[in-house]
Amino acid sequence: MSGERWKAAALPVALLVALEIGARASGIQSDALAPPSAVAVALAEAFADGSIIGATRDTLASAFAGLLLGGAVGLALGIALGIFQPFDRLMEVTIEALRPIPSIALLPIALIALGFGYRMEIVIVAFACVWPILILSRAAVRSIEPRLIEVSRALKLSPGDRVRKIIVPAALPRIFLAFRLAAGIALIVAVTVEIAINPIGLGASIMTAQQALRPDLMLAYLVWIGLIGYALNAGLVVAQKHLFGPAALAGEAR
C-alpha cells in the first residue's frame, strides 16, 4: 500500500522539482510559467489579502445556487417522467431538442436579459445541471422494484405520499449520484462563464492574473481551482459511501 502511494506521488513530485530547477536554471521570464515555489508564494499571498477567499465564495455560491435551481427542476421533471410513462413519451421530442444545446451558448442570451453578475451565471449553471439530474432521476425512478409500487397501491397511499414515502427513498442512492455528477458540472460551468465573460469569482480572477502578466498568481488560481474540484468530488464520494454504503459506488459508469 505504501509502495503504491509512493509510486502515485513520484510523478507529480518529479514534475514539480523539474519545473522548479528548470525555471531557476534557465532564468527565462515567462508570461505563462513560473517556478512552483513562486506559485506557492502567490497562493499564500492571495489567501493573506483575502482576494482568493472572496472569489471562491462568489464561484461556489453561483455554482451551488445554480445546482439547486437546476437540480430542483431536473428532479421534479425526472420523477414525473419516470412515474408517468405517457408524459415521458409526450415530452420526448421537446427534451431531445433542448438537451443538446451547449449551456454556454445561452451565455449571450442570459447576458442581455440579466446583465453581468450572479443571476446570469446561476441561470446558465442551472440549465446545465437540469439534464444529468433529469435523465438519471428518471432512470432511477424507472428502476424501482415494481413490488414496492404495488405495495404503495395496496396501502392506498395518496400520490404525494407515494412520491415522498416510496419513490424518493427508493431512488435516493441514484439521485444522490446524479447530484454528485451535476455538482462537478456546476463548478465547471460557473468557472467557464466567469472566464468567458462574467467579471466575478475565480474565473475572472485567473483571467485578471493572466492579463496582468502574473503567471505565478495565474497558476496559483489554477492549482486552487483544481483543488476545489478535487475536494468537491472527493467529499461527495465519501458522503455517498457513508450514506448509502460502498454498493452505491459499484457499477458506476466512468
Partner 1 sequence: MNPALLMWRAASFLVAAGFVGLWQLVANLKLVSPVFLPGPDRAWASLVRGFTSGDLLAKTIGTLEHMAYGWLLASIVGIALGAMIGSSKAMRSYVAPSLEFLRPLPVSAIIPVAIALFGLTQGMALFVIAFGAIWPMLLATVHGFAAVEPRLYEVARSLHMSRLAVIFKIALPSASPDIISGMRLSLTVALILAVVCEILAGLDGLGYWVLLSARAFRSADLFAGVILLGAIGYVTAQAMSMVEQRLLRWRTSGH
Interaction between residue 239 and partner 1 (CB under 8 A): no
Residue 247 CB contacts under 8 Å (≥ 6 apart), including other chains: none
| Chain-centroid distance, C-alpha 21 | 35
CA atoms of 121 and 117, how far apart (whole Å): 7
Among 41, 68, 73, 104, indicate the residue that binds partner 1 (CB under 8 A): 104
Amino acid of residue 74: G
Among 1, 28, 112, 154, binds partner 1 (CB under 8 A): 112
Helix ranges (DSSP H) in the chain: 2-26, 36-48, 51-83, 85-98, 107-114, 118-142, 146-154, 159-161, 168-196, 201-211, 215-244
Q: Closer to partner 1 by CB, 155 or 231: give it.
A: 231
Choose the stretch contacting partner 1; rule: CB under 8 A; options: 69-77, 94-102, 116-124, 157-165. Answer: 94-102
Stretch of residues binding partner 1 (CB under 8 A), selected from 41-49, 87-95, 153-161, 168-176? 87-95
> Which residue, 187, 183, 220, is CA-closest to 201?
187
Q: How far is the CB of 197 from partner 1 (least distance, A)?
A: 7
* Residue of the chain from 38, 133, 134, 206 that contacts partner 1 (CB under 8 A): 206
Nearest Cα to 89, choosing from 40, 124, 17, 138? 138
Residue 106 interacting with partner 1 (CB under 8 A): yes
Cα–Cα distance list, 83 to 149, 159, 171, 185, 254 (Å): 10, 10, 12, 26, 27
Residue 254 found at the interface with partner 1 (CB under 8 A): yes
> What's the closest the beta carbon of residue 217 comes to partner 1, in angstroms?
10
Binding site for partner 1 (CB under 8 A): 4, 7-12, 31-32, 89-94, 96-98, 100-109, 111-113, 184, 187-188, 191-192, 195-197, 202-203, 206-207, 209-210, 215, 218-219, 221-222, 225-226, 229-230, 232-233, 253-254
